[in-house]
Structures are given as C-alpha cells and as structure tokens.
C-alpha cells in the first residue's frame, strides 16, 4: 500500500497578515498552530478555532424558541451558566382593568438569585396611553409586573401585549 502526503501552504502569523489567499484556500499558521480559511479578499484569512479556544469559550449549550406550546417564551443558556430569556404576554387585558394588578410570568430557566437584569416593554394595540406607573419585582422563578397607575389618551379600553427580557446567572 502506498501512501501520499499532502502539504498545504504555511507561514507565520506575520506572513499571513500580509497574504490574501485564493477563494477556498486553506493555509497553516505556524505561529499559532491553527488553520486559516481564505476568501480571496481578506488579508490573513479567518483563523479556525483550536481546542484550547473552545475550552475557554462561552457558547450556547441549550436553547428554546418561542411557540404557543411554551407560552411564547425563549431562552439561551450558555456553558458558563449565563442565561438570556424572554417572551411575550399576549393576554394583557384592557388598560383600564390592569390598575392595581400584578402580572406574573414564570421564567423557563430558574435564576440563581434576584440580582438579574429584567426589562419589560408595554405595547398598546387599538389605542394609546400617555403614561403608566409600574414596578418590576424579581423572583428566582418569575418576573412580576406590578401596575399601580395609568393615564390613557384616546381609547380607554385599548389592549396590548408585554414583551420581557431577563439576563443573569441561572441556578441550574
């Protein structure tokens, strides 16, 4: 059985920075011991990741996309334990019925504590409002919107939806 050896073009990092490879060309960076992919335009090409880079990189290990079955919630959980999650409340009742209420949304991923970032956006449909007073109350398993006042202009029975976003360290 005969064997064949294939060698690709190679050079130092410095040499690569001044080299524009052909479209689809692969070269070896002998300084960083990695491969570079070329597009025929970019000097130096694009370096591919090495295993040691992957060991220290933070990347998504689990995710969920919003559907009716999961109540229109989504999340991205990272290797480090960081989580970003959010969704949309479509059941927001008319503005004139929300005063004095607390609306609760269960988080798909439990948070490690209550010091996470929470953002809530109120979006009116069929009318508008001049102002609304509310507070965001954080829990490790839910985010709550306490509405205590609103001022509506135009249609007092306008309804809407609420979008929410939470980011921080997960308990899992």
- In the chain, the domains with their CATH numbers are 10-55 (2.10.10.30), 60-169 (2.60.40)
Mean pLDDT, the chain, integer: 83
Q: Give the model confidence (pLDDT) of 114-129 as tens digits.
A: 999 998 887 766 655 5
> Which tops the pLDDT comparison, 55 or 16?
16
pLDDT, position 117: 93
pLDDT, position 163: 86
Instruction: Give the HSE-up count for residue 31: Cα atoms under 13 Å, Cβ half-sphere.
Output: 9
Distance CA 73, CA 66 (A): 5
The token pair that represents 151 in the structure block: 């001022």
> Which tops the pLDDT comparison, 102 or 108?
108
Three-state SS string over 26-92 comes to EEEECCCCEEEECCCCCCCCEECCCHHHHHHCCCEEEEECCCCCCCCEEEEEECCCEEEEEEEECCC
| 79 CB neighbour count, 10 Å cutoff | 14
Q: What are phi and psi of 114, to 5 degrees?
A: -100, 10
Q: Mean pLDDT throughout 95-115? A: 80
Beta bridge partners of 118: 166
Q: Mean pLDDT throughout 56-60? A: 90
> Which tops the pLDDT comparison, 134 or 25?
25
> Which tops the pLDDT comparison, 152 or 107?
107
> Which tops the pLDDT comparison, 62 or 3?
62
pLDDT, position 134: 73
């Amino acid at each position: 059985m005969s064997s064949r050896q294939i060698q690709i073009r190679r050079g130092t990092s410095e040499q690569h920075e001044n080299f524009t490879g052909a479209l689809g060309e692969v070269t070896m960076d002998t300084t960083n011991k990695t491969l570079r992919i070329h597009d025929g335009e970019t000097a130096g090409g694009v370096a591919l990741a090495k295993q040691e880079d992957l060991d220290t990189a933070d990347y998504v290990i689990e995710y969920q996309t919003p559907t009716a079955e999961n109540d229109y919630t989504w999340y991205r959980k990272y290797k480090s334990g960081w989580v970003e999650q959010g969704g949309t409340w479509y059941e927001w009742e008319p503005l004139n019925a929300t005063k004095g209420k607390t609306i609760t949304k269960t988080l798909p991923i439990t948070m490690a504590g209550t010091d996470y970032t929470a953002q809530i956006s109120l979006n009116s449909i069929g009318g508008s409002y001049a102002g609304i007073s509310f507070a965001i109350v954080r829990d490790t398993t839910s985010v709550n919107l306490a509405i205590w006042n609103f001022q509506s202009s135009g249609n007092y029975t306008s309804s809407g939806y609420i979008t929410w976003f939470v980011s921080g360290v997960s308990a899992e």
